[in-house]
A = this chain, B = another copy of it.
Amino acid sequence: MTRPFEVHREQIQLILEAWGMAREYAATTADVLSYADLCGIDSHGMSMLPPYDRLRRAGLLNIGASPTVEQETPVSALVDAGGGLGHPAGKLAMEVAIAKARAIGIACVVVRNTAHYGACGYYTKMAAEAGFIGMSTTTTPGVTVAPTGGAQGRLGTDPWSMSAPGKEGEPFLLDMATATVASGKVRNKANEKLPVPEGWVMSSDGLPSTDPLDLIERKGFLTSLGGTPEGASHKGYGLAAMARILSAGLAGAPMLLRPEEASQPRTGSLAHFFFVMDPGLFRDGQAFREDVAGFCESLRQTRPVDPQKPVQVAGDPERANAAKRRQAGIPVGAGLLAQVRTLAQASGARWIMG
């Protein structure tokens, strides 16, 4: 079943407000979560409300927190999220970075004492819409990925997003976990009793596996991008490590996840990193945008393997989903809908999803 985008977004906000989040921050958080659902990144949208609720009720999330800028230079800022959700802090961080880049050309902002901030592409899209290049990384809470050659979980899906302005409304927008795939994709295969492709999963001994239950029931791991050592998974592993250095390392947050700590998370144990740069530092900004737009268009014109599937550029799949879902509404499975309705009822939030 589907609901109109605005209803879907509003329902998220109503629940966040009922939990005690200030109206402004609830609106921002609803923007970020509904952006993910609109773009087809269903793992990072409304489906995050149940896990956020669990953290909140366990006293691990300061839902009433206000993000504050703690420390500034002309090219940098450190934002403290106050142990709350990362979305309001992330938006503030990107706004500060954009303002500084507008003034001096480049800025980096780090957020500490924070929690999950949603889909990282939301933030780099803000930079691209301002005409700037953007990057963001974050630590992630799960201990799901073993380093190449290792048989213990040490990393999360630690994503990177990178953006550049191109054709109006069509920025280059890469938003990628450094794991080959998200655990949700493995769970889907298990639900269908299908094997997973080689390179998605490792057994608890760190050996390649095509059995999704090795991950889900037998304490195996997700792989780093590359899938196997001979597929160069040390590169995905390296990108995950750098994501942790830039976010947790610069924030003074825990850099390494140990399974025993992950089961007892601290409030505010995550960290985010943001980078913004004005291409006008090097050449005319409009000429740069036109070149990026032409580059993306030329990539799309590559002869496709399957004539029915044109080559896409980072950002295209999400825009295609958003165009469809703005028309057809946002699909929400019956199971998630029931969970979210229960959350709404428990917190006294108005229920508008029918």
Q: A199 to B252, alpha carbons, bound, how many Å? A: 38
With A231-B180, A238-B174, A241-B314 already in contact, the answer to whether A282 and B164 are too (CB < 8 A) is no
The one of B197, B226, B305 in contact with A150, judged by C-beta atoms closer than 8 angstroms, is B305
Residues of B contacting A251 in the complex (Cβ-Cβ under 8 angstroms): 282-283
Residues of B contacting A205 in the complex (Cβ-Cβ under 8 angstroms): 305
A295 and B199 contact, CB distance less than 8 A: no
Q: Which of A23-31, A53-61, A262-270, A286-294 contacts B (4 or more CB under 8 A)?
A: A286-294
Q: A237 to B237, alpha carbons, bound, how many Å? A: 17
- Residue A304 is within 8 A (CB to CB) of chain B in the complex: yes
- Residue A148 is within 8 A (CB to CB) of chain B in the complex: yes
Q: A150 to B312, alpha carbons, bound, how many Å? A: 9
A149 and B305 contact, CB distance less than 8 A: yes
- Residue A186 is within 8 A (CB to CB) of chain B in the complex: no
B235 and A225 contact, CB distance less than 8 A: yes
Q: How far is the CB of A217 from chain B (nearest CB, A)?
A: 20
Q: Which of A13-21, A42-50, A67-75, A346-354 contacts B (4 or more CB under 8 A)?
A: A67-75
Residue of B nearest to A176 (CB): B235
Q: How far is the CB of A246 from chain B (nearest CB, A)?
A: 7
A249 and B288 contact, CB distance less than 8 A: yes
With A172-B245, A277-B108, A299-B241 already in contact, the answer to whether A314 and B234 are too (CB < 8 A) is yes
- Residue A303 is within 8 A (CB to CB) of chain B in the complex: yes
Chain A, residues 233-269, CB within 8 Å of chain B (1/0): the string is 0111111011011100111100110000000000000
Residues of B contacting A281 in the complex (Cβ-Cβ under 8 angstroms): 73, 75-76, 108
Q: A180 to B224, alpha carbons, bound, how many Å? A: 13
Among A104, A174, A282, A294, residue most surrounded by chain B Cβ atoms (within 10 Å): A282
- Residue A311 is within 8 A (CB to CB) of chain B in the complex: yes
Among A252, A302, A306, residue most surrounded by chain B Cβ atoms (within 10 Å): A302
Residues of B contacting A227 in the complex (Cβ-Cβ under 8 angstroms): 199, 226-227, 231
Q: How far is the CB of A257 from chain B (nearest CB, A)?
A: 10
Residues of B contacting A63 in the complex (Cβ-Cβ under 8 angstroms): none
Chain A interface (Cβ within 8 Å of chain B)? Answer: 71, 73-76, 78, 104-108, 110, 133, 146-152, 154, 162, 164, 172, 174, 176, 180-181, 197-200, 205-207, 225-228, 230-232, 234-239, 241-242, 244-246, 249-252, 255-256, 277, 279, 281-283, 287-288, 291-292, 294-296, 298-299, 302-306, 309-314
List of 4 A-B pairs having minimum Cβ-Cβ separation, nearest first: A206-B305, A150-B302, A174-B238, A76-B281
A174-B241, A250-B279 given. 11 additional CB < 8 A pairs? A150-B304, A152-B303, A154-B302, A174-B235, A180-B232, A227-B227, A241-B299, A245-B295, A249-B288, A251-B282, A256-B295
